[in-house]
Amino acid sequence: MSRVFHYSPAIPVRDAIGFSTRSLYSAMLSAGLETYLVCDQDSISSAPIFTLNVEQMLALRPGSQDLIIFHHSFLDQNVDRILSLPCKKVIVYHNITPGHFFRDAGLGWLADACDEGRQRLGSMSAMFDRVVGDSEFNVSELEARGYPRGHVIPVFYDDLFFRRPFDDAEAELRSFNGSCINMAFIGRFVPNKRPDNLIRIAALVGKMSGRKTKLRLFGKLWDRTYFRTLWRLVEDLGLEDAVSFELNVPREGLKSALSSSDAFVSASEHEGFMVPLVEAFATGCPVVALASSAVVGTCGSAGLLVTEPDLEQMAARIVCIAENPDLKRSLMRVQAQRSEDFSSLKTLNKWNSLLGEFLPTSLVKHENRV
Amino acid sequence: MDRLFQHRDATYAAALGQIERQLARLEGRVDALAAENAMLSTAPGIDAEWVLGRHQIASSAMKKEFANILDLMRTMLDEARAIHEISVKNGK
């Protein structure tokens, strides 16, 4: 019987790619397959228990009947060893951010690693039996680098959790602050996501509406120097009371913030999929976003997208949503419908169709699901 | 007294906001189901067991969402009742 190895350099517990990798692994375990999570030794402490490191996987001698699902989103020191194995291989491309976003912000080391990772993408194009991208944007990027046309399969997100209403209605009410225009963003504090522009937008929303504003930025800290520049911008604009940076907040806190905000705002200029958009859709938080990269495909017809990085236009849309209940309601309705396209059931069906010929058993109970 | 009324007013506004949010989500999910049904009606070889399973999942999920809206409505009723009692006492 074939074995399936899910390899990603890191499989952190609280991370979108980590969650998606674990979801497919769990579905395979439930289907009775022999399957393993594998990551780099340097990241093993943050991976789920029972995750193998690369050496342990190699010791199992993966052969021609086995399958490696290779998640790729950064320069990876294990690429050559893994791709030289005689087993079947599927690449899942989550995108590598172009280096210029980091170089412009003084993060040269990160920029160089990203650019090298992107450069090496082309040399791997003939190594895979199947090509998967989690968005049309990612699939097109691979195609431009010589890969065969790939399959679009979105990442798994925790749909059951984000769709489920709060168990405690009173607690939900307490999280609501009706006197403010509340905005939220979820994502790492990195230059391509443009948290600096979100801060500027918060200032504009306050001026345009004449109301208090609150922008909550939820994320992870990557570089202290860059973070300090963001905080300086907050001080320069006098927004110390209006902007908060909230680090490593548990998902219950994220859900609570989304379901009590007037808008989820994104000014990100480069995304490979952007899971928080779908989480906002599922929790009923209107989205205002810059129409960039994969954001357009993830939103589909949902959300209010702004085609140019025009901060005044974005601020105006947030004020419109906060002051127009009909617009807010219709946005939430379309978004809830869109979130259904990313349900775990549908994503698993797509994987089942793709991997059917490689696996001895189906991942879903009924194979002709939509 | 003013503070108490302000608190009740905020709770009332929050409850209304949450009911509105959940209704819109529910509408969106019904739209998605309708779109899926339309797609199924033209699909060859429909698997009845699958359709049944999907409908069961959808109906139990919607029951849960409705339950939360009902909770919020009960909270609003309690608030309205309490405000009424206070205003009656105050009037006396």
Q: pLDDT tens, A336-350?
A: 999 999 999 899 999
CB contact under 8 A, B45 and A170: no
Give chain A's mean pLDDT.
Answer: 93
Q: Are residues A103 and A223 in the same domain?
A: no
Rounded distance, CA A68 to CA A34, Å? Answer: 12
Residues in chain B closer than 8 A to A369 (CB atoms): 47, 50
Within-domain flag for A239: yes
Q: What total of structural domains would you count in chain A?
A: 2
Does residue A238 sit in the same domain as residue A289?
Answer: yes
| pLDDT tens readout for residues A181-211 | 999 999 999 999 999 999 999 999 999 999 9
Same domain membership, residue A210 and residue A284: yes
Structure confidence at residue A1 as a pLDDT band (50, 70, 90): low
Q: What is the ipTM for the molecules in this complex?
A: 0.76
- Same domain as A170, residue A112: no
Share of chain A above pLDDT 90, in %: 85
Please report whether residue A348 resides in a domain.
no
Same domain for A186 and A287? Answer: yes
Same domain, A145 and A265: no
- A263 forms bridges with which residues in the sheet? A183
Q: With contacts defined as CB-CB under 8 Å, which chain B residues touch A179?
A: 10
Enumerate the residues of chain A whose CB falls inside 8 A of the CB of residue B23.
329
Considering only the beta carbons, identify the residue of A284, A338, A368 that sits closest to B47: A368
Query: Using a CB-CB distance cutoff of 8 angstroms, which residues of chain A are in contact with residue B75?
Result: 169-170, 173
- What's the confidence (pLDDT) of residue B19? 80
Weakest mean pLDDT among A45-59, A245-259, B9-23: B9-23
**Subunit contact A370:B36, Cβ cutoff 8 A:** yes
Check which CATH number belongs to the domain holding A310 and give it.
Answer: 3.40.50.2000
Does B71 contact A at CB distance below 8 Å?
yes
Final residue of a domain: which of A156, A191, A221? Answer: A156
Tell me: do A167 and A310 sit in the same domain.
Answer: yes
Shared-domain flag, residues A234 and A320: yes
Which of A166, A178, A368 is nearest residue B14 as measured by Cβ atoms?
A: A178
Three-state SS at A175: coil
pLDDT in tens, B38-83: 877 777 766 777 777 777 777 777 777 677 777 777 777 777 778 7
Whether A169 and B72 lie within 8 Å, measured CB to CB: yes
A150 and A168: one domain? Answer: no
**Residue A370: pLDDT band with limits 50, 70, 90:** very low
Contact: B27, A336; criterion CB under 8 Å: yes
| A283-337: pLDDT as tens digits | 999 999 999 999 999 999 999 999 999 999 999 999 999 999 889 999 999 999 9
Domain boundaries, chain B: 2-91
A263-266 β-sheet, strand order: A243-247, A212-219, A180-186, A263-266, A287-290, A304-306
Q: Distance between CA B80 and CA B9 in Å, rounded?
A: 10
Q: Which two tokens stand for residue A289?
A: 């976003």
Chain A nearest-CA distance from B18, in A, is: 8
Q: Which of A156, A190, A216 is the last residue of a domain?
A: A156
- B64 to chain A, any CB pair closer than 8 A? The answer is yes
Token reading at A62? 């993966």
Instruction: Give me the domain span that covers residue A69.
Output: 3-156
Confidence (pLDDT) at A368? 44
Same domain, A311 and A204: yes
User: Does residue A368 fall inside a structural domain?
Assistant: no
Whether residue A122 has pLDDT greater than 60: yes
Do residue B28 and residue A334 have CB atoms under 8 angstroms apart?
A: yes
Same domain assignment for residues A168 and A316: yes
Strand order across the A34-39 sheet: A52-53, A34-39, A3-7, A67-72, A88-93, A130-133, A151-152
**What are φ and ψ of residue A91, in 5° steps?**
-90, 135
In this structure, the answer to whether residues A26 and A50 fall within a common structural domain is: yes
Q: Do A368 and B49 touch (CB under 8 A)?
A: no
**pLDDT above 70: percentage of residues in chain A:** 94
Secondary structure class of B12 (helix, strand, coil): helix
Is A369 in contact with B47 (Cβ distance < 8 A)? Answer: yes
A337–B61 CB contact, under 8 Å = no
